[in-house]
């Protein structure tokens, strides 16, 4: 199974999600989107696959979203996409793509919705929280 994670190594949720993927025996393709940036088409594809709007995916904490006026409800999806391409940090993370779907993995355990964990088990996050890793609905 090929899995891709759009990752920010400075983000605890992103680091936890990456390790959750690895704990299932998968070494994902890691894209550090703050280095590579985004294209408009890429964002549209990811958001559509995850059932998100650009506003749903807008990261407002620790970003210039507020100062750029992007939290105003009158800002259009097109304007948000333009800003996200110009400022990659505005996209919430991590976004994970697998053959089973696309998820914005907040909280990180959402990644298990699109993976095939090997039976029930547990994973301990960086903060000490333990989550069940068994596949949901399998």
Is 105 known to be catalytic?
no
Element (H or E) spanning 52, and its range? Answer: none
Does residue 98 sit in helix, strand or coil? strand
* Residue with token string 């105003």: 72
CA dihedral 89, 95, 97, 102 (to 10 degrees): -120
Q: Of residues 3, 5, 11, 52, which has the active-site annotation?
A: 11
* Residue with token string 């609905």: 137
16: preceding bond cis by omega (within 30 degrees):
no
Catalytic residues: 11
């Amino acid at each position: 199974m090929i899995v891709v994670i759009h990752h920010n190594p400075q983000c605890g949720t992103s680091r936890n999600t990456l390790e959750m993927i690895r704990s299932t025996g998968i070494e994902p393709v890691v894209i550090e989107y703050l280095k590579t940036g985004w294209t408009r088409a890429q964002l549209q594809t990811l958001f559509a696959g995850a059932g998100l709007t650009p506003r749903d995916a807008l990261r407002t904490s620790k970003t210039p979203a507020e100062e750029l006026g992007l939290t105003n409800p009158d800002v259009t999806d097109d304007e948000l996409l333009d800003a996200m391409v110009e400022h990659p940090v505005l996209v919430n993370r991590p976004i994970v793509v697998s053959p089973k779907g696309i998820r914005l993995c907040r909280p990180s355990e959402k990644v298990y919705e699109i993976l095939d964990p090997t039976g029930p088990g547990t994973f301990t996050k960086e903060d000490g929280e333990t989550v069940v890793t068994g596949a949901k609905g399998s």
